[in-house]
A and B are shown apart, each in its own frame.
Chain A
Amino acid sequence: MIQHPIEINDVSFSYNGTDVLRGVNLTVRSGEFLAIIGPNGGGKTTLLKIILGLLKPSRGEVKILGKPPASARHLIGYVPQHSAYDRQFPITVWNTVLMGRLGSGKPDIGDSGDEESVASALRAVDMLSFRARQIGQLSEGQRQRVFVARALASKPRLLLMDEPTASVDIVMQAGIYELLKEIKKELTIVLVTHDIGVIASYVDKIACLSGEIFYHDSKEITPESVEKMYGCPVELIAHGVPHRVMGEHRHD
Chain B
Amino acid sequence: MIEALQYEFMQNALLAALLASTACGIVGTYVVVKRIVFIAGGISHAAFGGIGLGYWLGINPLWAVTPFSLAAALAIGLISQTSKTAEDTTIGVFWSLGMALGIIFIGLTPGYAPDLFSYLFGNILTVSTSDLYILLALDVVIIGTVCLLRREFQAIAFDEEYAAASGLPVTALYLILLALIALTVVILIRIVGIILVIALLTVPAAISRQWATSLSKMMWISPLWAAFFTCSGLVLSYLLDIASGATIILIAGFFYFLSLLLKKVNRRIV
The interface of chain A, by Cβ under 8 A from chain B, is: 52-54, 73-74, 76, 78, 80, 84-86, 89-92, 95-96, 98-100, 102-105, 134, 150, 154
Contact = CB atoms under 8 A, between A and B. Distances in A.
B159 A85 contact: yes
27 contacts: A54-B165, A74-B167, A76-B165, A78-B162, A80-B161, A84-B159, A84-B160, A84-B161, A85-B162, A86-B158, A89-B33, A90-B33, A90-B209, A90-B217, A91-B214, A92-B214, A95-B154, A95-B214, A99-B151, A99-B163, A100-B166, A102-B152, A102-B167, A103-B166, A103-B167, A103-B168, A154-B166
B165 A90 contact: no
Interface in B89-108: none
Contact of B213 (A76, A78, A90, A102): A90
A54 B164 contact: yes
Contacts of B212: 90
Enumerate the 7 nearest inter-chain pairs by beta-carbon distance, A residue then B residue, closest first.
Answer: A103-B167, A73-B167, A103-B166, A85-B159, A78-B165, A52-B165, A84-B159
Contacts, number: 71
A95 B168 CA distance: 17
Contacts of B154: 91, 95, 99
Contacts of A150: 162
Nearest to A160: B165
A74 B165 CA distance: 9
Contacts of B209: 90
A18 to B, nearest CB: 15
B214 A73 contact: no
A131 to B, nearest CB: 13
B155 interface: yes
A87 to B, nearest CB: 11
Contacts of A78: 162, 165-166
B72 interface: no
A91 B217 CA distance: 10
A192 to B, nearest CB: 14
Given A95-B154, A99-B154, A102-B152, A54 B166 contact: no
B161 A54 contact: yes
Contacts of B151: 98-99, 102
A76 B162 CA distance: 12
B161 A102 contact: no
Contacts of A95: 154, 214
Contacts of B166: 73, 78, 99-100, 102-103, 154
A47 to B, nearest CB: 14
Given A52-B165, A84-B161, 10 more contacts: A73-B166, A84-B159, A84-B160, A85-B162, A89-B33, A89-B158, A90-B214, A90-B215, A91-B154, A99-B166
B218 interface: yes
Contacts of B160: 84
A76 B155 CA distance: 17
A104 B163 CA distance: 12
A102 B159 contact: no
B34 to A, nearest CB: 9
Contacts of A99: 151, 154-155, 158, 162-163, 166
A86 B156 CA distance: 12
Contacts of A74: 167
Contacts of A100: 166
A78 B154 CA distance: 18
B203 to A, nearest CB: 17
A99 B158 CA distance: 10
A92 B213 CA distance: 7
A73 B165 contact: yes
A102 B155 contact: yes
A92 B154 CA distance: 12
A89 B157 CA distance: 9
Contacts of B157: 89
B215 A91 contact: yes
A184 B174 CA distance: 35
Nearest to A85: B159
Contacts of B217: 90
A85 B158 CA distance: 6
Tell me which of B151, B160, B162, B217 has the highest count of chain A C-beta atoms within 10 A of its own C-beta.
B162
Contacts of A54: 161, 164-165
Contacts of A98: 151
